[in-house]
Amino acid sequence: MIKFRFLKRTSVSQRQRANDNEQTTVKESVLTAPELTAQQHQQYQQQPPLHPKTLIIASRESRLAMWQAEHVRAQLNVLYPQCAIEILGMTTRGDQILDRTLSKVGGKGLFVKELEVAMAEGRADLAVHSLKDVPMDLPEGFEMAAVLEREDPRDAFVSNHYASLDALPAGALVGTSSLRRQALIAARYPQLVIKPLRGNLDTRLGKLDRGEYAAIILAAAGLKRLGLATRIRALLDPEHSLPAPGQGAMAIEIVSGRLDIDLRAVLAPLNHRASAQAVTAERTVSKVFGGSCQ
């Protein structure tokens, strides 16, 4: 198996706390690990993970990001009804820089750094991300604890006047900030004009509605999660518009090796095995070829 990420050697006490049967000194991210084995389930039944009394979820403050954080909180509330769960909304540098493409200002790590700082400083216990916005390599000391069940990973064509890319007239302005989408559209529709489009989902839809673009391309998952599926005029065939690695999946990031609580065990019930396996494969291939969410 290709290992997604390696962490530092852990102490004996840390390994025993995480898993009494662990024989190796190297741990890999849950993105390549299966769901809990029957043996692990038995261990947790005998020695349940320390149930948290409080949890703080770090999240970007956009409407979509907060929806995702609320979704995770709702699931955790069902699992741990005695736990007080709060959401820490944050503005990241990626949210602030809207006049330049991500590739020119530091890449998609700009959407997660502030959340990781909050966890490192103890202001948050976990962070909820759109996985496509997470760098292929996490900073040392962090790991992905769970990948939730994936929503539709496809790209969506959104327009107020046209039914598809094929219906757009020559010279029509199409908005997208993704270099991947720009290249794929330009290759198939050289007669169209592609213009960068930054901002959160509501900002992008607002620019379309003001007539700044004839059409825009968005991730279908975000539209569906916010109840905006009716804005989708067409879903792009992945053979023509390959989605970004991990697109449509939410991931939960934590600080590695905490001694006060086994967050991996706490979050394990949220991990969706099939989704985790799929996005692991996509991210591994993308990393080999030097790709990103762009």
* Whole-Å CA distances, 30 to 4, 8, 47, 91, 164: 9, 15, 21, 27, 38
106 alpha-carbon distance from chain centroid: 18
Q: What gap in Å lies between CA 211 and CA 205, rounded to an integer? A: 10
A 10 A CB-CB count for 48 gives 10
Q: What gap in Å lies between CA 89 and CA 121, rounded to an integer? A: 15
Residue length of the chain: 294
Strands 126-130 and 250-255: antiparallel
Per DSSP, the three-state class of 283 is: helix
Short-list 207, 200, 199, 174, CA closest to 188: 174
Q: What gap in Å lies between CA 43 and CA 252, rounded to an integer? A: 23
* Active-site residue identified among 95, 99, 125, 133: 133
- Degrees, nearest 5: CA angle 36-87-63: 105
- Degrees, nearest 5: CA angle 101-104-109: 85
Q: Is 20 a catalytic residue?
A: no
- Is 164 within 8 Å of 64 (Cβ atoms)? no
Q: Tokens 């198996």 identify what position?
A: 1
What residues are annotated to the active site?
Answer: 133
